[in-house]
């Protein structure tokens, strides 16, 4: 049956296409019940690979059904038709994703980075407390709502944690995600602690927000891995990063998994404290160099630079922080990777930018 007709019968008016993969697509729609726009992820079981149908999809559906956090994209409804199509009605990131946001505006002010990263940290704290891991945290999977608050999306590689008889976390053996955000242990194909893997990916995200570029050049994975294992984190020339923020980055991008910082310690870190956010917001309101959010992000902005990226109520954005300023369209630095399609469900491209997906029983 036609997607538009199926959705119409359930009170949704189908809109534009947001992304498409080999066996899934994402479209916008208007919900008569919610009186707002939503995102609709449509998965065609007949085109999907067996391992996805037997393992990844059931996990994603089960996990989405239990998640309820202000910094995670809401799932309103999931249903399936007799012709093998799964429809997932989800919250729409009306301001696009973090990748688009940074590509369009360049590196973000420190106070904006702190606010967004605290929101990401609260979301990860929430899922880790539920013994759920994401395993694909990256800028493309972090959506922004109308107020530019961050929402974690795409739980296609997520899973519940398992523990052995001694209470030790069972290591993951599915090597998934994007190479640019992958921890050294994942790149090396070593069974890994998935919670610790999420922390590394968070470190990459924070670096991108602060610097407008990737921390490592993944055009040569072997070389990138060597740099990572040396615990080298270089910053763009002329870019000032406060010492406490550098400390947090170094502790997240720690190649020794036994020394990598945990999510509770991230939230307790001095750089991330709400009191510091408040001071930043006060200084930001006096500053004339604010980010302009009046102009909408262009749909084709991702293609303008082919070689780059571009809780509590206290954790929400003050509308003034992201208002009335100038923004330049900036591509990421030349050593960055080409942007991958955003919000494109099912698009697990086999390329040098992706970590090899090695599927083993029991993971």
Residue 290 neighbours by CB under 8 Å, 6+ apart? 109, 284, 320, 321, 322, 323, 324, 325
Dihedral sign from CA coordinates of 129, 133, 139, 142? negative
3-state DSSP assignment of residue 265: helix
3-state DSSP assignment of residue 199: helix
Residue 239 neighbours by CB under 8 Å, 6+ apart? 107, 210, 211
Interatomic CA distance for residues 316 and 290, integer angstroms: 17
Catalytic amino acids? 136
For Cα atoms 292, 295, 301, give the angle at the middle one, nearest 5 degrees. 105
Say whether 229 counts as a known binding-site residue.
Answer: no
- Find out whether 100 and 302 touch, Cβ atoms under 8 Å: yes
Interatomic CA distance for residues 7 and 54, integer angstroms: 26
Q: Which residues are annotated as a binding site for ATP?
A: 41
């Amino acid at each position: 049956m036609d997607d538009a007709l199926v959705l119409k019968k359930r009170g949704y008016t189908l809109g534009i296409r947001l992304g498409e993969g080999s066996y899934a697509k994402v479209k916008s729609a208007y919900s008569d019940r919610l009186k707002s726009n939503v995102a609709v992820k449509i998965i065609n079981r007949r085109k999907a690979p067996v391992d996805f149908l037997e393992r990844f999809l059931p996990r994603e559906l089960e996990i989405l059904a239990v998640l309820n956090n202000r910094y995670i994209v809401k799932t309103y409804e999931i249903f399936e038709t007799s012709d093998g199509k799964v429809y997932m009605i989800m919250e729409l990131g009306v301001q696009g994703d973090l990748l688009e946001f940074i590509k369009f505006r360049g590196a973000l002010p420190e106070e904006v980075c702190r606010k967004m990263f605290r929101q990401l940290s609260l979301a990860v704290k929430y899922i880790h407390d539920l013994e759920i891991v994401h395993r694909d945290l990256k800028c493309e999977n972090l959506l922004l709502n109308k107020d530019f608050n961050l929402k974690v999306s795409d739980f296609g590689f997520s899973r519940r944690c398992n523990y052995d008889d001694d209470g030790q976390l069972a290591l993951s053996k599915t090597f998934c995600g994007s190479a640019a955000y992958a921890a050294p242990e994942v790149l090396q194909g070593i069974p890994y602690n998935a919670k610790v893997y999420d922390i590394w990916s968070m470190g990459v995200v924070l670096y991108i927000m602060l610097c407008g570029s990737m921390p490592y050049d993944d055009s040569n994975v072997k070389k990138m891995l060597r740099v990572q294992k040396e615990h080298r984190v270089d910053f763009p020339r002329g870019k000032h990063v406060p010492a406490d923020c550098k400390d947090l980055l170094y502790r997240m991008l720690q190649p020794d998994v036994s020394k990598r910082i945990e999510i509770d310690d991230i939230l307790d870190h001095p750089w991330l404290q709400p009191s510091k956010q408040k001071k930043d917001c006060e200084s930001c309101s006096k500053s004339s160099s604010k980010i302009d959010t009046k102009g909408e992000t262009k749909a084709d902005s991702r293609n303008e630079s082919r070689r780059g990226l571009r809780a509590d109520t206290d954790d929400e954005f003050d509308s003034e922080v992201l208002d009335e300023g100038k923004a330049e369209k900036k591509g990421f630095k030349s050593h960055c990777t080409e942007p991958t399609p955003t919000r494109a469900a099912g698009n697990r491209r086999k390329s040098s930018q992706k970590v090899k997906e090695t599927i083993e029983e029991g993971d």
